[in-house]
Structure 1
Amino acid sequence: MQSRRVVITGMGQISPLGMDLDSFANALGAGVSGIRKIESLPADALPSPYAGEATEFTGHIGDFGDVSKEQTRSIRKNLKVMCREIQMGVAAAQRALQHSGLAVGDYDPEKSGVIFGSDYMMTLPEEFDKATAACLNEGGEFAFEKWAEKGLPEITPLWLLKYLPNMPASHVAIFNDMRGPNNSITLREASAGAALGEAMMTIARGHADVIISGSTGTRVHETRTVHTFLQDPINEGSDEEAGRCLPFDLNRRGMVIGEGAGALVLESLEHAEARGAKILGEVLGQSISTGWNADRTADRPTAIANALAIVCRDAGIKPGDIQHINSHGLGAQQSDWDEAAGLTKFLGDLANKTPVIAMKSYFGNLGAGSGIVEVIGSLLAQQRKTLPGTLGFATRDPKCDLNVGCEPQEISSDGVFVSLNFSPQGQASAIAIRGV
């Protein structure tokens, strides 16, 4: 089957830099950080009181944009079975659709679908408060033998629907009558690129004309934050430096937690042109790769280099054709070393010439939500013909010999950029996109 060209016609994002595209682009252009003191959790009880919170997002129906009356009723009815991650993902998707000018009735439902990436979603502890209390013995200890009879009846029957990672794609499809391909991908930070790549291929092979592709994630959560601080390389401390994410900088101290979601409307070129849509970019190539050592540890440099090589092959471009790389840029020591090694292996002599930006320096690690938000950041930068610098970058780490800069630089609106993200487990995804 002849491959079809896939274009981007709509964007929507929920992030620590706001909810509309202009405020997001303005913050990037002005070098404004979205990382601040945590408001939703007891900051004093955590190893660091800083996070990139999407404070503008409240979950109110107004956050979903200008939705129709019928959609308003449907979304409001279902809010009670959506955790915050799902709500952010749905809101980003609705905003992307509105930005594209597409509404229900403008597309064939059978040829339209949704492909979303996410983290695994964790239940809030209060979901089990009553059930746990019902199982305490006379000494105030939890008695598991009481669980079936006393505990389970106290749990809301639909509680699990609030935390299933396939629900963002399900809700978006139902709200917008999209009955075609529907898929959910959970690969931590690599989820966004994997979802966008799958959406691209679904349209390219003719199985859909329209796909909403997005991702949502969080590290700001009663349970997830605890897990993150126990498992991941966090920038800890109570000083102001604990609130700075400094990818590839010699003085970086670790990642900063965040939350957010992004979504893109993808269409076949023919479908977009037929309806007179404004084209924002073209998805040229996609890839995903996993690196694994013989001792069963992640080989992230190999995964990164392979993913970049494959995305170039898929897109029909060479490393020298890349205008800029929107990197994973976690701001943690080993992660940045691994990424720099993978980028250097792929770029060769171009390693310290190809511009590299790390947008997590502006808002922290949004988990699975990072990748699409970062793609949107690159597209907006191309529209304004200015690539923002990596926030706070000052002293290059000698082991990260890359072209990372803190100052904005002029770029063309029609260049090819690559978005890269990877997981601690060695899964890397890359997307090649050409601006217009």
Structure 2
Amino acid sequence: MQLKRVVVTGLGALTPIGNNIQEYWDALISGKSGAAPITYYDTEKHKTKFACEVKNFNIEEFIDRKEARRMDKFAQYAIVAGEQAIADAGISDSNVNKQRVGVIWGAGIGGLETFQEEVLSYASGDGTPRFNPFFIPKMIADIAPAHISMRNGFMGPNYTTVSACASSANAMIDAFNYIRLGMCDVIVSGGSEAAVTIAGMGGFNSMQALSTRNDSPETASRPFDANRDGFVLGEGAGALVFEEYEHAKARGAKIYCEVGGGGMSSDAYHLTAPHPEGIGVIAVMENTLRDAGMKPEDVDHINTHGTSTPLGDVAELKAISHVFGDHAKTININSTKSMTGHLLGAAGAIEAIASILAMKHGIVPPTINHSTVDENIDPSLNLTLNVPQKREIKVAMSNTFGFGGHNACVLFKKIEE
């Protein structure tokens, strides 16, 4: 069977450092941190008092108030980013067969704020189970792509992938496979998350996963730095329109890049910690290269998972050195989580977008907040520290890993007509 080519024709982003693609890209290149004191609730008794919140966002600019109240924030974010990507791709009733357009989305947690509010409300009452009739449809993780589908009449595959922080990368790989197998023409893919809540922050704090650098939130996310002390929780959404190449050409669509391949693996090691030698990460990158029919020396740029955790950063870089050998020293490696924080299930999507934009503009965004060399990290690796670097990028990889040992990697390449 001849596999079809898959390209990216639309992008949308709602992030802690920008509420659309242009704002997001400008912030990435300027090295802007999205971390700041939390505004959603009183943090007095919390260990971590800051996060990367979406800013200057009013859902009523996009959705009617009554409709918005029936949605958790993670679904609201999905709709906004999804509509941006659909508009960017120029999809309309006249140029697609909506029965062959799907929505495959990623969310690691889903409607956490809704769940928290409903349970707290019940607990504060007299024991009578009074719940909002929209409690379940607001909370469930699959509801975000359902909203995008219903708003646009897309009748193809519609579901959510849940693999913790790898969720949206898994969604993109599924979208890629459906299209290259000829089962769809277009799929809106990506992910969203809205876990900056009392339960979300409290839960990650109890695992000692979050940075507690309350005196300097903007410098707290510091991947690869010797003094990193955990990740910074972020929120938002990223959306990409994947499309069959000939279909995109036929309707005159703008093409950002080609999707070269995707890989998955499992650490099979620990609930939350990565394998110290990065065995699962080695496997996922090798699987991706094999799927794309490429050699290690073909890769120019890797946007790492790079969460700013003591164990994770070292294991991932060890894996990169193992897979790419001497060529690893010539690759521009970075972590945009240094600016956006960790968007959990949406991380893969916004980082894939960053990789695609780096390829388009010939500039690699920096890994900010680095000041102290970690003796456990190979000093010959180019981690794109603190300032952006210009270079031609023909092939870029985006790594995303999740609690439970879920590993996913997506490879993008410049389009060859």
- Given the two structures, how large is their TM-score scaled by the length of structure 1? 0.89
Aligned pairs for 1:208-219 within 5 A: 208-219=184-195
In 2, distance between residues paired with 1:21 and 1:134? Answer: 44
Whether the 8 Å contact between 2:35 and 2:217 is mirrored in structure 1 is no
Q: Structure 1, residues 393-424: CA drift from partner, whole Å, max 9, x if none?
A: 233312222321223211225x1100001013
SS state at 2:202 partner: helix
Which position in structure 1 is the counterpart of 2:256? 280
Aligned-partner residue type, residue 134 of structure 2 = L
Whether the 8 Å contact between 1:50 and 1:243 is mirrored in structure 2 is no
Q: Give 1:365 shift.
A: 0.7
Aligned-partner residue type, residue 412 of structure 1 = E
Q: 339-348 vs 293-302, which deviates more?
A: 293-302
Residue from 350, 356, 372 that aligns with 2:349 = 372
Q: Structure 1, residues 149-177: CA drift from partner, whole Å, max 9, x if none?
A: xx22x211221111100011111111111
SS state at 1:429 partner: strand
Q: 113-122 vs 307-316, which deviates more?
A: 113-122
In 2, distance between residues paired with 1:272 and 1:349? Answer: 38
In 1, distance between residues paired with 2:264 and 2:161? Answer: 12
Residue from 302, 305, 308 that aligns with 2:285 = 308
Q: Give 1:184 shift.
A: 1.0
Q: 162-171 vs 230-239, which deviates more?
A: 230-239
SS state at 1:428 partner: strand
Unmatched 5+ stretches in structure 2:
none
Whether the 8 Å contact between 1:17 and 1:23 is mirrored in structure 2 is yes
In 1, distance between residues paired with 2:217 and 2:122? Answer: 41
Q: 239-248 vs 211-220, which deviates more?
A: 239-248
1:81 is aligned to 2:65: no
In 2, distance between residues paired with 1:130 and 1:369? Answer: 28
Q: Give 1:80 shift.
A: 2.4
1:132 is aligned to 2:123: yes
The percentage of aligned residue pairs carrying the same residue is 30
In 1, distance between residues paired with 2:237 and 2:271? Answer: 35
Residue from 103, 107, 112 that aligns with 2:92 = 103
Aligned pairs for 1:327-338 within 5 A: 327-338=304-315
Aligned-partner residue type, residue 394 of structure 1 = S
Aligned pairs for 1:335-414 within 5 A: 335-401=312-378, 402-406=381-385, 407-412=387-392
In 1, distance between residues paired with 2:166 and 2:272? Answer: 19
Unmatched 5+ stretches in structure 1:
65-71, 136-146
Q: Structure 1, residues 175-198: CA drift from partner, whole Å, max 9, x if none?
A: 111111122101111111110000
Pair 1:110–1:76, CA change in 2 (3 A): farther
Pair 1:115–1:241, CA change in 2 (3 A): closer
In 2, distance between residues paired with 1:222 and 1:189? Answer: 19
Pair 1:242–1:191, CA change in 2 (3 A): same
Q: Give 1:294 shift.
A: 9.5
Whether the 8 Å contact between 1:8 and 1:266 is mirrored in structure 2 is yes
Aligned-partner residue type, residue 428 of structure 1 = N
SS state at 1:344 partner: helix
Q: Give 1:202 shift.
A: 0.3
Which position in structure 2 is the counterpart of 1:258? 234
Pair 1:113–1:417, CA change in 2 (3 A): same
RMSD: 2.0
Whether the 8 Å contact between 1:131 and 1:155 is mirrored in structure 2 is yes
Q: Structure 1, residues 287-327: CA drift from partner, whole Å, max 9, x if none?
A: 11001149997537111110000100111111111110000
In 1, distance between residues paired with 2:235 and 2:142? Answer: 18
Q: Structure 1, residues 21-76: CA drift from partner, whole Å, max 9, x if none?
A: 1111111111111111211122333212221111122322x2x4xxxxxxx6xx66
Aligned pairs for 1:228-267 within 5 A: 228-240=204-216, 243-267=219-243
Which position in structure 2 is the counterpart of 1:429? 408
Q: 352-361 vs 263-272, which deviates more?
A: 352-361
Residue from 314, 318, 333 that aligns with 2:295 = 318
Number of corresponding residues: 409
1:93 is aligned to 2:82: yes
Which position in structure 2 is the counterpart of 1:36? 36
In 2, distance between residues paired with 1:226 and 1:157? Answer: 27
SS state at 2:308 partner: coil
Which position in structure 2 is the counterpart of 1:3? 3
Aligned pairs for 1:41-60 within 5 A: 41-60=41-60
Aligned-partner residue type, residue 330 of structure 2 = K
Q: Structure 1, residues 239-274: CA drift from partner, whole Å, max 9, x if none?
A: 116742110111212111111110001110011000
Whether the 8 Å contact between 1:124 and 1:223 is mirrored in structure 2 is no
SS state at 2:198 partner: coil
Aligned pairs for 1:130-209 within 5 A: 130-135=121-126, 147=127, 151-152=128-129, 154-209=130-185
Q: 399-408 vs 328-337, which deviates more?
A: 399-408
Q: Structure 1, residues 65-108: CA drift from partner, whole Å, max 9, x if none?
A: xxxxxxx6xx6653222101111012111110011111234311
In 2, distance between residues paired with 1:112 and 1:191? Answer: 20
- Given the two structures, how large is their TM-score scaled by the length of structure 2? 0.93
Q: 156-165 vs 119-128, which deviates more?
A: 119-128
SS state at 2:228 partner: coil
